[in-house]
Structure 1
Amino acid sequence: MKAMPPSYSFRFHNLGIGEIQLGKKPEHIPGMLPFPSYDCKSHFRVYPDPAHYHAFTGTARGTIERDDTGIDLQYLFTGINESGFINRIFLYPQEANKQLAWRLSQLYGEPSTGQALAGTKNAWITDSETEITLFSPADDKTADTVIAFRFFHDLPALKEYIIEGSTKLK
């Protein structure tokens, strides 16, 4: 019988969630596994290559406030730069929720909102120069809803670090 993965509750903040933070080394974070060793790697295509990613292997929930019920996460990935530090964080909620942007606004303030190719993109820039984006697809598919973190001035993290679901994620 396979052991259940540990369950973690992380608080959202300007650099990520809990210990999973931009600028930190993923191998120092419990539950992080190099992407090539991740069981569900076949469900995703990653760019520039799998060696630049880590996946969280436990059950994760992100909370915004102390008494918050939280956002259950289906997948959590980090991209790492050439020096081995986290430069992107990708969070995939288990449920698409029209209130997600409102809930993130409670912590990060009013977002800039725009239409993306196939949905809506909300973006927040924090005082610590971190950009948090929420992409919500027009058709409300949970698998394509993603919350991403990066340092605002890190353009390679924005343009070169991409994760695509290669099959239906659920």
Structure 2
Amino acid sequence: MESSSQPNHYRLHHLGIGDIQLGRRPGHIPGMLPFNLYTGRHHFSVSPHGGLYHVFNRPIRCTIEHKDSGIDLSHLFAGVNENEFINRLFIYPDRPGFQLATRLSNLYGEPTAFNNWVTESDTEITLRTSDALLQTVIGFRFLYDMTALRDYEVSVV
């Protein structure tokens, strides 16, 4: 994130974090900007193309439990479909660990498959860990949106 101000605090829920959620238009969310205008874009590769992504360009902290101190995020990407609605979220915690899978299980219940949580609202939350990059990624998508699953991807260059 590029701002040095205090982080925005949002609650993690079944559609994303606070107002940054599946099914919303990123242009209506303060702090979201198109990926192509993001100065850190050269550090990331996005698929299918940069025009389908927005980045939250402010410091952000999400909380999971009621009395949680929060998790600082280093990046938050939102993929949009052809109608400009968010159909995939990629959330990168600042530091891996924090027993994140356990904490997500406390919020969403036990995962239905390896590191996949399905909520009552037909939303799937996945937790991906890359040992090579020591980076944890939490992704949100609607369970039935196969295009978001297959075609939308963010990776560090």
Classify the TM-score, shorter chain: over 0.9
Q: Give how far 1:164 is off.
A: 1.1
- Structure 2 CA distance, aligned partners of 1:152 and 1:62? 22
Shift in Å at residue 7 of structure 1? 2.0
Aligned to 2:156: 165
Unaligned runs of 5+ in 2: none
The amino acid of 2:155's aligned partner reads E
Q: Which residue in 2 is equivalent to 1:150?
A: 141
Question: Counterparts in 2 of 1:29-68, with a 5 A limit?
Answer: 29-68=29-68
* Cα displacement (A) at 1:140: 6.9
In the alignment, which residue of structure 2 is the partner of 1:133?
Answer: 126
The answer as to whether partners of 2:73 and 2:93 remain within 8 angstroms in 1 is yes
Shift of the 50–139 alpha-carbon distance from structure 1 to 2, 3 Å rule, reads closer
Q: 8 Å contact 2:3–2:59 — kept in the other structure? A: no
Does 145-154 or 96-105 show the bigger shift? 96-105
Give the count of matched residue pairs.
Answer: 156
TM superposition shift of 1:65: 2.0
Aligned-pair identity (%):
50
Deviation at 1:136, TM superposition (A): 1.6
The DSSP-based 3-state class of the residue aligned with 1:112 is: coil
5+ residue gaps, structure 1, are 115-121
Which segments of structure 1 move beyond 3 Å, counting only runs of 4 or more? none
Post-superposition offset of 1:98: 5.5
The alignment partner of 2:150 has SS state of helix
SS at structure 2 position matched to 1:159: helix
Matched, 1:110 2:113: no
Q: CA RMSD in A?
A: 1.6
Contact 1:87 1:157 in 2 (8 A): yes
Post-superposition CA distance 1:93-120 (Å, at most 9, x none): 1111060000111110001353xxxxxx
Q: Does 1:93 align with 2:93?
A: yes
Paired residue type of 2:68: D
Q: What's 1:7 paired with? A: 7
Give the drift of 1:5. 4.4
